[in-house]
Amino acid sequence: MRKLKNLIMTGLLALATLICLLPLLLLLYYVIKMGISSINLDFFLNNPKPMGEAGGGMLNSIIGTIIVLAMASLIGIPIGLVTGIYLAENKGTKLAEWVRLATEVLVGIPSIVIGILVYGWLVKSMKTFSAFSGSIALTIIMIPILARSTEEVLLMVPHTLKEAAYALGASRWKTQWMIVMKTAMGGIVSAILSSIGRIAGETAPLLFTAFGNQFFSTKLFRPISTLPIQIFTYARSPNIVQNRMAWAGSLLLVGMVLVLNMSAKWIGYVVLKRRNK
């Protein structure tokens, strides 16, 4: 009887795990099946052709995504990290609690609202959609996520290490920099990569900021094409060739996010393993 119960419970747990995994597996299967046929050298090296013409690729969107993500990271990573350090170092103070609350609220705000906000701030005042405004929208999404995960990672550094550094006469600055940050470095890199992965696929905030562009552009203050928006455009197109492109773009985007997240995990794992040898 007990054995039977055990068997049933184990079966249920396995089933639950499978149900959890199923969407991911199905998604990967479907995206690969639909997208792989359009992924070739042309896809990476050519700009889109006008509707009706054969061939063409997504070069402009790939470059656009890289530019927008790079700029968002350049602004977002330092601010996110510093905020995270502040939160971890000043736990319990009033200002830190307010900042923490703010990051929580910010994480919960629908990303399209952030897009509209940046539209009002930047696009209207600059009178043009731009890669820059898209980056700012993504930065606003990235900062609270990175700040919170940085805080978590830093709080995992044992307090005893800090005390050991202080007991040796180290200053607060040196302790923070040479002991806490270094010990948490693997986790911090993971946090950065995951936060980039988190914003890489955002579409809504880019709709009225980066806007999209049929042509190749690297200008920061001009509209720019990005993968998510191009996928959005192509998926709604009545043209089957463009629909296929949308699948291929999705495959690339999913691949990028997967690589970012997996390298984040891998770095965390390697650092942990090296320490516990």
Partner 1 sequence: MNSEETTIRAKEFSAWYGDFKVLKNISLSIPTNYVTAVIGPSGCGKTTFVRCINRLHELTPGAKVTGELRLNEKNIYQTDPMQIRRTIGMVFQRPNPFPTMTIAGNVMAGYTLNGIRLKTSEYKEIVEDSLRKAALWDEVKDKLNKYGTELSGGQQQRLCIARAIATKPTVILFDEPCSALDPIATGKIEELIRELRSHYTIIIVTHNMQQAGRVADFTAFFMMGELIEFDRTETVFTNPAKSLTEDYITGRFG
Would you say 143 and 77 are in contact if contact means Cβ atoms under 8 Å apart?
Answer: no
Two tokens, residue 185? 């470095």
Shortest separation between residue 185's beta carbon and partner 1, angstroms = 8
Would you say 123 and 130 are in contact if contact means Cβ atoms under 8 Å apart?
Answer: yes
Would you say 209 and 72 are in contact if contact means Cβ atoms under 8 Å apart?
Answer: no
Q: Which one of 74, 168, 258, 259 is in contact with partner 1 (CB under 8 A)?
A: 168
Shortest separation between residue 264's beta carbon and partner 1, angstroms = 20
Q: Which one of 175, 225, 226, 250 is in contact with partner 1 (CB under 8 A)?
A: 175
Shortest separation between residue 95's beta carbon and partner 1, angstroms = 14
Would you say 263 and 189 are in contact if contact means Cβ atoms under 8 Å apart?
Answer: no
Nearest residue (CB) to partner 1, 187 versus 228: 187
Q: Could you tell me which stretch among 95-103, 123-131, 132-140, 160-168 binds partner 1 (CB under 8 A)?
A: 160-168
Residues 82 to 101 in contact with partner 1, rule: CB under 8 A:
92
Amino acid identity of residue 151, one-letter, is E
> Would you give the DSSP letter of residue 119?
I
Q: Which one of 66, 170, 235, 257 is in contact with partner 1 (CB under 8 A)?
A: 170
Shortest separation between residue 162's beta carbon and partner 1, angstroms = 8
Residues 237 to 276 in contact with partner 1, rule: CB under 8 A:
274-276
Shortest separation between residue 170's beta carbon and partner 1, angstroms = 4
Two tokens, residue 141? 């999404």
Tokens 């980066």 appear where? 210
Query: DSSP of 123-158, one letter per residue?
Result: IHHHTS--HHHHHHHHHHHHHHHHHHHHHHHHHTS-
The contact set with partner 1 (CB under 8 A) reads 92, 158, 160-161, 163-171, 174-175, 178-179, 182-183, 185, 274-277
